[in-house]
Amino acid sequence: MTDMSPATPNDLAAWWMPFTANRSFKAAPRLITRAKDMHYVTADGRKIIDSVAGLWCCNAGHQRDAIVAAIREQAGELDYAPPFQFGHPKAFRLATKIADLAPGDLDHVFFVNSGSEAVDTALKIALAYQNISGQGGRQRLIGRERGYHGVGFGGISVGGIVSNRKMFGLLLNGVDHLPHTYNREKQAFTRGEPDWGAHLADELERIVALHDPSTIAAVIVEPMAGSTGVLPPPKGYLQKLRAICDKYGLLLIFDEVISGFGRLGFAFAAERYGVTPDIICFAKGVTSGTVPMGGVIVRKHIHDAFMRGPEHMIELFHGYTYSAHPLACAAGLATLDLYAREHLFERARDLEPKFGDAFHALRDSPNVLDIRTIGLVAAIDLAPIEGSPGLRGMRAVEKAFYEADLLTRVAGDTLVVTPPLIVTEAQIDEIAAKVARVIRLVE
Ligand SMILES: Cc1ncc(COP(=O)(O)O)c(C=O)c1O
């Protein structure tokens, strides 16, 4: 593809890009025009390897035939169906499949269109559940420092990323935060779950003592915090949170928007940790990123608590025009089939030791402060350039794209690698070698 004209827009001004340094991007745009399996093709015809599954979402790889065919077919059969008071068969089929993948009695699925909507939906369900259960005083929500729960007002309120919060007013009332679980001195260069840090879950006891359990509805955490640079849960931490929530009647919500659908070697991280939350948020991997979709899975007793009162009445005043969109449901069904057929969750689990070896081998590269690996996730903390935090990371993304034919991602100065689960052992080595080169390029 050497002719750039069809792929290259002549005016980049109109699109105000999300979470992007717009002026820098538009001065040197990184345009992507095609994708297949593990690779993207750039507007100037270069094939670059995707080390981040798009944005932690294309877990099955790109443009997989079965998923593409399912979306095409669906578009030709039923383009849209209203989800309020009507339904279409694939929505029910997909909900059943997702409920089957979820642990315990997480049996009911509420569909939305993104991770942010999933989080706000989960928080609303938690508050409403406490309300209809005669516990209307339970209105507080507990999140965690360095947590990312999308960009809705609920999500940024319980989230713990300062830059995502500080410009947007006072946010939700009655939110408190657990401390984050990262301590470089105690945890540096850990594979999997760090040994140190389970005691940080006891901070929930302090928060409960401060506010009284009768005022707290729910606790929300990512089982593995992703967006602030990958913070795997310390051994025993999630189990402790579960026990404290049980002790005080708090609902435990796992935001599995990135840990779901195989990233940590299981359908959900809940399974990896043997901890069953009351509510799971999912998105991204459910359609392998092909059509926007998210959802919330709730335990049976939560769902059933709403199924009282007159049967002609709407039980939950919540939902989206595009909840369970037919194209998303078709994509979701094809994606889950493909994950099962190719055993991709097990594949991620089997590859974890090899993946860990490949990235921990970069430990002596210049400016490396820490490396964390878990499942098919690696995070490499680089020392910030003095006075300009985030600049080395940004340069790394640019150098990777232009000079190493690598699509990568950073959180500040932390390089993050989260490839599609179809990555081969040779491609793991290839990505690690490219990352090593990029680290030297930004020395
Ligand atoms: C844990 C978590 N929750 C929520 C979200 C928000 O998802 P979306 O961007 O689809 O709204 C993300 C996105 O990365 C996420 O990592």
Whether the CB-CB separation of 374 and 232 falls below 8 Å is answered with yes
The pLDDT score that the predictor gives to residue 4 is 47
Whether the CB-CB separation of 428 and 436 falls below 8 Å is answered with no
3-state secondary structure of 232: coil
The predicted-structure confidence for 3-42, as pLDDT tens digits, reads as follows 445 566 779 999 999 999 999 999 999 999 999 999 999 9
What mean pLDDT do residues 328-337 have? 98
Residue-range domains of the chain with CATH: 22-60+343-441 (3.90.1150.10), 68-341 (3.40.640.10)
Task: Report the percentage of the chain scoring pLDDT > 90.
Answer: 98
From 111, 123, 148, 416, the mutation candidate for ligand 1 (largest count of ligand atoms within 8 A of CB) is: 148
The pLDDT score that the predictor gives to residue 7 is 62
The predicted-structure confidence for 192-222, as pLDDT tens digits, reads as follows 999 999 999 999 999 999 999 999 999 999 9
- pTM for the complete prediction? 0.97
3-state secondary structure of 393: helix
Which residues have C-beta atoms less than 6 Å from ligand 1?
A: 56, 114-116, 119, 148-150, 222, 226-227, 255, 257-258, 283
Task: Report the percentage of the chain scoring pLDDT > 70.
Answer: 98
3-state secondary structure of 334: helix
The predicted-structure confidence for 352-372, as pLDDT tens digits, reads as follows 999 999 999 999 999 999 999
- Give which of 86, 411, 6, 350 is closest to 226, Cα–Cα: 411
From 158, 253, 257, the mutation candidate for ligand 1 (largest count of ligand atoms within 8 A of CB) is: 257
E strand spans, 205-250: 216-221
On the 0-12 / 13-18 / 19+ scale of CB atoms within 10 A, 6 is exposed
- Cα 31 to ligand 1 centre (Å): 23
pLDDT-based confidence at 315, cuts 50/70/90? very high
Taking the CA of residue 259 as reference, the ligand 1 atom at the shortest distance is 1
